[in-house]
Amino acid sequence: MRVSKLIPIDKFIDKALYDNKKGYYFTKNPFGKNGDFVTSPLISPLFSEMIAIWIVSFWDDLGCPKKFNIIELGPGNGEQCKIMIKTFKKFPNFYKYLNIFLYEKSSVLEKVQRNKIKEQNVTWIKNFNKINAGPALFFGNEFFDAIPIKQFKKIKKNVYEKYLNFDNRSSPKEIFRKVSKKTISKLKKLNLLKKNGIIEYPAQGLRELEIITRKIKSLNGGLLLIDYGYLKQLNISTLQSVKLHKKNKIFNNIGKADITSLVNFNLLKDYFKKRNLTVNKIVSQSFFLKKMGILERAEILSKKMSFKEKSDLYFRLERLLSHNYMGNLFKVIFTYKKKKKFLLGFI
C-alpha cells in the first residue's frame, strides 16, 4: 500500500485498516479459523447469549420502553448479532419493541453480516443520524482497540508527537515533533502527562465517543464496551499486529494484517464522568460473565452433551474466563444516563 512520506501514526493506522480500496477491513473477512484472529463470540455462543440477557435486563430496568434501540459497534462477521437475536426472540415482549442498528464501515464485512442476518428490524448504518427516538444502548466488543491512536513521547517537560517517514524504505523511520500548547492542554485534561515515556491518545476514538455520549444524553440509554486493555497507565507502545493468528511486525504486510492497541480504561472512565454520565466500576470479562451466570448456563447445557461436546464447551469457556487467556486482560465498562444505578454484572 502506498503511504505518503511523513504522517502521524494514527493516520498510518487509519490508512492501513480503513482505506476504501486497500485497507485491511475493506478487502477481507479477518474473522475465524481461516482468518487472522478469533473474537469471544466465535469462541463460544454463550458469550453473546450472556450479553443478550444483560441487554434484556437493562431494558426491563428502564421500565420496558415501547421503543428500544441497540447499536452494535463494529459487528465483525455478524455472529454476535445472530446469536443475540436468537436469545432476544425468547423474550417476545422485548423483541417486538426492538430496533437493531449495525454500525459498520466496511462494505466487505457488511455483505458478510447481511448473509447471516435477515431480520426485518435490523438496519445497517454508517452514522447515528437515524437513531432519534427511544433509549439507545450502544454495544461494542473489540471495537475500541481497532480505532487508530496517536502516540506521543514525554521527556521531562517536553512532549513530542510520533510521525513516520517512509521515504522509500520498507520500514519507516520514527520522527518526533514538538507539539502545540493546545495538544499539551488536551493531554493534561485526561491525566496523561504524569509520567515520562510513550503516551497513547485515542483522538479518533474520543471523537466517536463524543457523538455516542451526545446520543445517550439526549435519548437515554448507555454504552457497554468490552475490550482488552489496562487500568494503570503503561507509558509504553501497546500497538500490536496479527496475521494468520500469529504476531506480525507492525510495518510488515501493511493492509494485509490487523493493527490494534490496548485500551486505557481509566481514560474512558474519566472521559465519561466529565460528561456527567454514570460509570460502573470497571470489571474483568471473567467477573462480568460469571456474574451473568455463564457457568450455570454451561452446566445446564452440558447435561445433554456427550463427553467430547462437554470437553469442547468447557475448553472454550476457559478461553473466555481464565486469567491465562482472555478472562483478566479483557475489561468491561458501562456508562449510562439513568437516575438509578444498573449494576447487573458489575457487583
In order of their start, the domains of the chain are 6-337 (3.40.50.12710)
The one-letter amino acid at 278: T
The one-letter amino acid at 280: N
The whole-angstrom separation of Cα 71 and Cα 73 is 6
Q: Which residues contact 60 (CB under 8 A, 6 or more apart)?
A: 94
The whole-angstrom separation of Cα 159 and Cα 199 is 9
Please, are residues 163 and 9 in contact by the beta-carbon 8 Å criterion? yes
pLDDT at residue 169, rounded to an integer: 65
Q: Which residue has the cell 493506522?
A: 13
How far is the CA of 100 from the CAs of 95, 118, 156, 158, 225, in angstroms? 10, 12, 48, 46, 17
The whole-angstrom separation of Cα 112 and Cα 108 is 7
pLDDT at residue 167, rounded to an integer: 75
The whole-angstrom separation of Cα 36 and Cα 242 is 7
pLDDT at residue 95, rounded to an integer: 97
pLDDT at residue 247, rounded to an integer: 95
Copy the grid coordinates of residue 87. Answer: 436469545
Residues (pLDDT < 50) of the chain are: none
Residue 78: other Cβ atoms inside 10 A: 23
The DSSP code for 230 is E
The whole-angstrom separation of Cα 31 and Cα 46 is 18
Q: Is 53 helix (H, G, I), strand (E, B) or coil?
A: helix
Across-strand partners of 141?
226
pLDDT tens for each residue of 250-289 = 999 999 999 999 999 999 999 999 999 999 999 999 999 9
